[in-house]
């Protein structure tokens, strides 16, 4: 379907308004467009409401002319033939256009009228005029009974909705409702790292499929997987042998199957002989080249002018690959990022690792056309260096003469790394499989002559290197590196191997000082970052260098895009006061930080039963605790109590203070025994469950996951961890943040918005956040962890519940999303005695290519679940993206805050946003370090018909409700909590699979909250193999009693029942957190 295809020939007539019982009649439908897009009269008859809340509908609004110069699809815009006023609080729906707003006005689209409110009937919609392209005219004129409550749909009214949802392919992201927002307290001039891309609309990019296979089929008959580096080498050899037929400078290769060319290439099968070294026999490959498509860049121009409804993604992908080709050939490629091969000696991180600097970039369709978005990047990578030198840096006590002392550390450091050999000329890279069994002196192999004239014979490696390469092996008493494959041995002495540069080193494995240096280098100030980006765009190694893009008719403007941003004002907040009354707080406009001096939290908890557990570093030589790492309880405990009291949190003295060793973290068994003993002691001494356990640690430890897993799922103790060195400093800000987290975990209320306004009336609104946590790239078996969280109160919207579920490895779609949301809705209804009338969903972690999956699978699954209980709330679905490269830079000091960053509340919704769809960039936090990164919000579905101003203000205000700090966060809290919940689920899974399984016995400290489990360790293991973490079920009967709370990231949760998962049961971890 194309935009702007033709004018509407006729005028539509308005349908009749229905009359309801006690409510106003439905408004008349809007008229169809006249001779062009909405330009005709389009009058609809308005029914008059009688009594009740109903409002009589006036004439249908005139259809507006296309406001983007015919760029829009006529059936998608709200103001084209909009309906008149409906009765009361009705609703309209159309998957072709915008949905009706909640006051009963009809949306555009299929011409449906708005439902009336309580007691009112549905007004008839206006018919569309007959389209030029033979679209069927759609009209509805019948009046139907309304449901008894606005939030509950009757079965009859649900049927057409569900039928519409079955045609999910018609759904597409919401169109922009206006020209951008106007709400602001100030306007700022900004530069955005989007560089306009110019292209020749007459150009054609040829897309070819490339298939490479060995000329001689393998003996075992299975297909041979050719490494990506070898594929690029084979391509280069073909092109260098035939430069006139295959011009390298006019082609781009993705390294696997696709070649994009600015000229036509010969097609067919070609033979290529490739040798990895001067002493190796050449291998022959057959390359088959087929034409897949001709990509006409003129299609892009049609899209931006509004003549095409969907973006030509294949063209964007082809142009994006062209822009990456120059950097691919000249730089180190790591994922989608590119890094310069040379590094500054000042960037050395030690241990054979250095910080490599580079960039990441992509092409984006924006309101101003196609743009190149490029951002600066830093990555910790291995340096190019001899293996023995690497080992000397990486292992402090390494000595080749005493290799046996560090053999295991050597193998762990080298296994899986890529190396080159330097005893012969070759470009081949090898993967270290491990250490050879023999030392170089004793290593021998079976040698066969290439010509086959002499019989195979045994040859010692030392002699072979001397005779063949003229090399003497110096370190003959250390093992060689095993660089072979499963069916081919290849032992090479370490002294002739060197590390391949650019191999990523996990930043979490860095020591404290190198990790801090890397962090500092990756967070330059805004002005510095802007200059780095500008230099990289102009670099000969960058996307615009080498002349490749020019050969495709593509040119990039070297200046950043200038835009006008708006700064949204902060909300008023509600805090407590010493006199027990709530007070209104005005937030500082620059830093958006509110001061807690002389103020209380809204609801402070009474903490009577708590204890301190001090994990200390033990000095093994003296068999005592090292005083250097001691927590000073005489300083920390009274100051923590005092700061909590000043916040209105009634914290008494701890029941006891206990010292233990950090060695406890090495064993889940020891931790379980320790925590159970503490819980039992508290129960015996006070007769009640321990409310809080503060755990002071000398350092971060991998055993932290055991602590949280045992305390939250086995025993039922709320834990608050802190580092001893920070606790000893006991700064006022640190203690205040600690107090806020403790109060929230125990069910207190820290801060509320003074007013939260949402379109659609005054009914209940539930906010939902959803995210999926995936295992690391090196892990190929562990499940992904999905989390869905939602608010449990209104209008404070600061108490949350969650569901966590294990699902298929690296599956981004949330399996069972509808059922998880339905359980949260039912929990909401139990707490509030009413279901929410409106649900606003924030989805995290999905890319633009996954929007269809979210719309057509997750959203439809949600509607299916809600339909099963005859429940049809208004739904708005928004994607929140942080993994993008867009950065905002103030043009002058007047446009920046004190750190050089943009002001909190800065929003951009022009020029660099999507040309047609509803999206914007919002920087909601104060950037004290580095360069602030805005969050990109994309609206995929919207029953509530938000305007830009309404949605931007709503999201910004919600960023002030995070429980653990006194400033707005960079991401809307439902998404923030969903990310924390998914990460906590990952920790549970890792604790279960780490090979240590604590006995599954119940805690004697609770008579009702934790159920004893008699399953064996083997059953635990089988459960893990079935990709199960555990199910935590909310026990409603303990909700208002003395619940078992446990910390879930920074959002507290309540776990009342723990039981093993069974295949026939739901996988969801049901966890309620209350903040």
Task: Write the pLDDT tens digit of every residue in 698-717.
Answer: 998 999 999 999 999 999 99
What whole-number distance in Å separates Cα of residue 55 and Cα of residue 268? Answer: 72
Cβ atoms of residues 128 and 112 within 8 Å = no
What whole-number distance in Å separates Cα of residue 889 and Cα of residue 525? Answer: 10
Look at 203-212, 277-286, 749-758, 1040-1049 and tell me which has the smallest mean pLDDT.
Answer: 1040-1049
- Comparing C-alpha atoms, which of 782, 846, 778 is closest to residue 812? 846
What whole-number distance in Å separates Cα of residue 713 and Cα of residue 711? Answer: 6
What is the DSSP code (8-state) at residue 776? P
What whole-number distance in Å separates Cα of residue 849 and Cα of residue 851? Answer: 6
* pLDDT number for residue 221: 67
pLDDT in tens, 553-588: 999 999 999 999 999 999 999 999 988 889 999 998
pLDDT band, very low/low/confident/very high, at 870 (cuts 50, 70, 90):
very high
What whole-number distance in Å separates Cα of residue 75 and Cα of residue 67? Answer: 13
* pLDDT number for residue 448: 75
What whole-number distance in Å separates Cα of residue 368 and Cα of residue 360? Answer: 21
Query: Taking phi first (over 0 means left), then psi (-120 to 50 degrees means alpha), and beta for anything else, what does residue 104 get?
Result: left
pLDDT in tens, 786-818: 999 999 999 999 999 999 999 999 999 999 999
| 88 has pLDDT over 70 | no
Average pLDDT over residues 308-322: 93
Look at 167-176, 432-441, 595-604, 993-1002 and tell me which has the smallest mean pLDDT.
Answer: 993-1002
Virtual torsion, Cα 788, 792, 797, 801, nearest 10 deg: -40
- Comparing C-alpha atoms, which of 127, 15, 114 is closest to residue 943? 114
Give start-end residues of each CATH 2.170.260.10 domain in the chain: 384-500
Sign of torsion over alpha carbons 486, 491, 494, 500: negative
| 386 has pLDDT over 60 | yes
Give domain 384-500's CATH architecture.
Beta Complex (2.170)
Strand intervals (E) in 501-593: 554-556, 561-567, 572-576, 582-586
Hey, which residues does 876 pair with through a beta bridge? 840, 942
Strand intervals (E) in 174-282: 186-192, 194-199, 204-214, 251-253, 258-261, 268-274
Q: Over the chain, what is the mean pLDDT?
A: 79
Hey, which residues does 562 pair with through a beta bridge? 191
pTM of the full structure:
0.79
Please name the residue that has the structure tokens 């600015």: 262
CA atoms within 13 A on the CB side of 621: 1
What whole-number distance in Å separates Cα of residue 271 and Cα of residue 259? Answer: 17
Virtual torsion, Cα 687, 690, 691, 692, nearest 10 deg: 160
- Comparing C-alpha atoms, which of 120, 137, 140 is closest to residue 57? 120
* pLDDT number for residue 779: 82
- Comparing C-alpha atoms, which of 832, 769, 765, 798 is closest to residue 1051? 798
> Parallel, antiparallel, or unpaired: how do β-strands 283-296 and 268-274 relate?
antiparallel
What whole-number distance in Å separates Cα of residue 371 and Cα of residue 537? Answer: 13
pLDDT in tens, 346-360: 999 999 999 999 999
The two structure tokens encoding residue 70? 């015919």
pLDDT band, very low/low/confident/very high, at 126 (cuts 50, 70, 90):
very low
Helices (H) and strands (E) counted in the chain, each on its own, are: 21, 48
- Cα-to-chain-centroid distance, residue 637: 38
The two structure tokens encoding residue 799? 């108490």
Q: Reply yes or no on domain 151-193+560-592+760-776+783-799+806-882+897-947+954-959 having CATH 3.90.76.10.
A: no
What whole-number distance in Å separates Cα of residue 446 and Cα of residue 460? Answer: 9
* pLDDT number for residue 194: 98
Cβ atoms of residues 1050 and 1009 within 8 Å = no
* pLDDT number for residue 450: 65
Query: Taking phi first (over 0 means left), then psi (-120 to 50 degrees means alpha), and beta for anything else, what does residue 868 get?
Result: alpha
Cβ atoms of residues 612 and 637 within 8 Å = yes
Task: State the CB neighbour count (10 A cutoff) for residue 336.
Answer: 12
The two structure tokens encoding residue 588? 């500082």
* pLDDT number for residue 723: 95
What whole-number distance in Å separates Cα of residue 309 and Cα of residue 1? Answer: 6
pLDDT in tens, 664-677: 999 999 999 999 99
Give start-end residues of each CATH 3.30.420.10 domain in the chain: 151-193+560-592+760-776+783-799+806-882+897-947+954-959
Please name the residue that has the structure tokens 């370090």: 929
Say what angle helices 387-394 and 407-414 make with each other, to 10 degrees.
Answer: 110
Question: CB within 8 A of 1065, min separation 6: which ones?
Answer: 1031
pLDDT band, very low/low/confident/very high, at 626 (cuts 50, 70, 90):
low
For the chain, give the percent of residues with pLDDT over 70. 74
Cβ atoms of residues 322 and 554 within 8 Å = yes
- Cα-to-chain-centroid distance, residue 418: 30
| 170 has pLDDT over 50 | yes
What whole-number distance in Å separates Cα of residue 544 and Cα of residue 330? Answer: 12
What whole-number distance in Å separates Cα of residue 967 and Cα of residue 21? Answer: 49
* pLDDT number for residue 628: 63
pLDDT in tens, 992-1028: 887 444 433 333 333 222 223 333 334 443 443 333 3
Q: What three-state secondary structure class fits 979?
A: helix
> What are the CA-CA distances from residue 407 to residues 69, 361, 443, 836 (Å)?
71, 42, 17, 63
Q: What are phi and psi of 548, to 5 degrees?
A: -65, -45
Q: What three-state secondary structure class fits 1032?
A: strand
If one compares 1015 and 977, the residue with the highest pLDDT of the two is 977
What whole-number distance in Å separates Cα of residue 231 and Cα of residue 274? Answer: 11
* pLDDT number for residue 310: 87
What is the Cα gyration radius of the chain?
Answer: 33
| 150 has pLDDT over 50 | no
Average pLDDT over residues 595-599: 89
* pLDDT number for residue 615: 96
* pLDDT number for residue 509: 86
pLDDT in tens, 908-937: 999 999 999 999 999 999 999 999 999 999
Cβ atoms of residues 806 and 787 within 8 Å = no
What whole-number distance in Å separates Cα of residue 472 and Cα of residue 474? Answer: 6
| 532 has pLDDT over 70 | yes
What whole-number distance in Å separates Cα of residue 547 and Cα of residue 628? Answer: 60
């Amino acid at each position: 379907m194309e935009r702007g295809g033709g004018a509407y020939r006729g005028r539509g007539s308005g349908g009749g308004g229905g009359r309801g019982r006690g409510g106003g009649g439905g408004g008349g439908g809007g008229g169809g467009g006249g001779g062009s897009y909405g330009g005709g009269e389009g009058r609809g008859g308005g029914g008059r409401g009688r009594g009740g809340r109903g409002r009589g509908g006036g004439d249908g609004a005139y259809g507006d002319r296309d406001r983007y110069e015919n760029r829009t699809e006529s059936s998608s815009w709200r103001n084209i033939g909009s309906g008149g006023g409906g009765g009361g609080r009705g609703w309209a729906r159309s998957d072709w256009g915008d949905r009706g707003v909640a006051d009963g006005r009809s949306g555009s689209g299929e011409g449906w009228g708005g439902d009336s409110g309580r007691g009112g009937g549905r007004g008839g919609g206006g018919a569309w005029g007959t389209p030029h392209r033979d679209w069927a005219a759609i009209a509805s004129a019948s009046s139907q009974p309304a449901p008894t409550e606005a939030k509950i749909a009757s079965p009859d009214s649900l049927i057409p909705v569900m039928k519409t949802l079955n045609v999910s392919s018609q759904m597409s992201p919401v169109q922009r409702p206006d020209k951008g927002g106007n709400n602001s307290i100030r306007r700022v001039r900004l530069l955005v790292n989007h560089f306009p891309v110019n292209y020749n609309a007459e150009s054609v990019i040829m897309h070819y499929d490339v298939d490479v296979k060995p000329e001689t089929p393998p003996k075992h008959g299975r297909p041979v997987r050719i490494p990506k580096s070898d594929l690029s080498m084979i391509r280069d050899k073909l092109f260098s042998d035939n430069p006139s037929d295959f011009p390298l400078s006019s082609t781009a290769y993705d390294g696997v199957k696709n070649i994009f060319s600015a000229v036509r290439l010969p097609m067919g099968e070609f033979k290529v002989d490739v040798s990895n070294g001067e002493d190796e026999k050449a291998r022959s490959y057959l390359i088959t080249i087929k034409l897949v498509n001709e990509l006409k860049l003129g299609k892009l121009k049609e899209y931006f002018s509004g003549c095409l409804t969907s973006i030509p993604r294949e063209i964007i992908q082809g142009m994006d690959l062209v822009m990456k080709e120059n950097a691919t050939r000249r730089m180190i490629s790591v994922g989608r990022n590119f890094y310069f091969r040379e590094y500054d000696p000042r960037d050395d991180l030690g241990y054979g690792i250095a910080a490599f600097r580079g960039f990441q970039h992509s092409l984006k369709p924006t309101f101003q056309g196609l743009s190149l978005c490029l951002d600066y990047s830093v990555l910790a990578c291995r340096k190019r260096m001899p293996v023995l030198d690497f080992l000397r840096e990486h292992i402090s006590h390494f000595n080749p003469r005493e290799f046996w002392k560090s053999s295991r550390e050597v193998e762990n450091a080298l296994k899986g790394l890529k190396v080159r050999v330097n005893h012969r000329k070759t470009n081949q890279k090898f993967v270290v499989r491990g250490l050879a069994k023999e030392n170089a002196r004793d290593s021998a192999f079976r040698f066969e002559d290439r010509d086959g004239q002499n019989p195979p014979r045994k040859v010692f490696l030392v002699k072979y290197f001397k005779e063949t390469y003229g090399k003497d092996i110096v370190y003959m008493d250390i093992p060689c590196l095993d660089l072979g494959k499963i069916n081919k041995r290849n032992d090479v002495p370490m002294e002739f191997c060197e590390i391949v540069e650019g191999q990523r080193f996990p930043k979490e494995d860095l020591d404290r000082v190198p990790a801090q240096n890397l962090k500092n280098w990756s967070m330059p100030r805004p002005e510095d970052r802007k200059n780095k980006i500008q230099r990289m765009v102009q670099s000969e190694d960058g996307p615009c260098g080498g002349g490749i893009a020019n050969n495709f008719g593509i040119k990039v403007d070297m200046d950043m895009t200038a835009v006008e941003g708006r700064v949204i004002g902060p909300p008023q907040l509600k805090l407590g006061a010493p006199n027990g009354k709530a007070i209104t707080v005005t937030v500082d406009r620059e830093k958006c930080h509110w001061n807690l001096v002389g103020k209380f939290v809204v609801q402070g908890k009474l903490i009577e039963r708590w204890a301190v557990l001090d994990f200390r570093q033990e000095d093994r030589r003296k068999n005592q605790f090292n005083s250097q790492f001691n927590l000073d309880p005489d300083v920390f405990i009274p100051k923590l109590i005092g700061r909590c009291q000043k916040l209105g949190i009634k914290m008494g003295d701890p029941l006891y203070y206990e010292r233990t060793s950090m060695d406890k973290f090495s064993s889940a068994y020891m931790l379980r025994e320790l925590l159970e003993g503490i819980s039992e002691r508290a129960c015996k001494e006070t007769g009640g469950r321990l409310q809080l356990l503060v755990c002071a640690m000398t350092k971060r430890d991998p055993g932290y996951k055991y602590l949280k897993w045992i305390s939250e799922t086995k025993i039922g103790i709320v834990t608050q961890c802190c580092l001893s060195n920070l606790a000893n400093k006991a700064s006022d800000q640190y203690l205040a943040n600690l107090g806020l987290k403790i109060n929230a975990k125990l069910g207190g209320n820290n801060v509320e918005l003074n007013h939260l306004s949402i379109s659609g009336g005054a009914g209940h609104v539930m906010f939902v956040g959803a995210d999926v946590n995936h295992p690391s790239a090196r892990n190929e078996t562990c499940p992904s962890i999905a989390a869905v969280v939602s608010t449990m109160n209104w209008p404070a919207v600061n108490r949350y519940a969650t569901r966590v579920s294990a699902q298929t490895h690296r599956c981004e779609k949330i399996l069972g999303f509808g059922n998880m949301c339905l359980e949260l809705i039912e929990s909401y209804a139990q707490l509030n005695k009413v279901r929410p009338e409106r649900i606003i969903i924030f989805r995290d972690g999905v890319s633009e290519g996954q929007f269809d999956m979210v719309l057509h699978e997750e959203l439809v699954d949600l509607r299916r679940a809600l339909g099963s209980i005859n429940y049809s709330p208004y739904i708005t679905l928004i994607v929140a993206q942080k993994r993008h490269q867009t950065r905002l830079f103030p043009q002058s000091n007047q446009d920046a805050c004190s750190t050089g960053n943009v002001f909190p509340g800065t929003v951009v919704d022009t020029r660099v946003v999507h040309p047609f769809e509803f999206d914007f960039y919002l920087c909601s936090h104060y950037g004290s370090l580095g360069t602030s990164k805005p969050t990109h919000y994309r609206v995929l579905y919207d029953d509530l018909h938000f305007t830009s101003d309404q949605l931007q203000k709503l999201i910004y205000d919600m960023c002030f409700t995070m429980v653990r700090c006194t400033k707005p966060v960079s991401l809307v809290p439902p998404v923030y909590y969903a990310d924390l919940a998914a990460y906590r689920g990952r920790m549970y899974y890792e604790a279960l699979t780490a090979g240590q399984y604590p006995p599954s016995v119940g805690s004697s400290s609770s008579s009702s909250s934790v159920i004893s489990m008699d399953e064996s360790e083997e059953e635990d293991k089988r459960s893990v193999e079935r990709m199960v973490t555990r199910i935590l079920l909310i026990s409603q009967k303990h909700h208002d009693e003395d619940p078992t709370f446990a910390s879930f990231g920074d959002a507290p949760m309540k776990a009342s029942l723990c039981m093993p998962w069974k295949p026939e049961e739901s996988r969801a971890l049901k966890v309620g957190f209350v903040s």
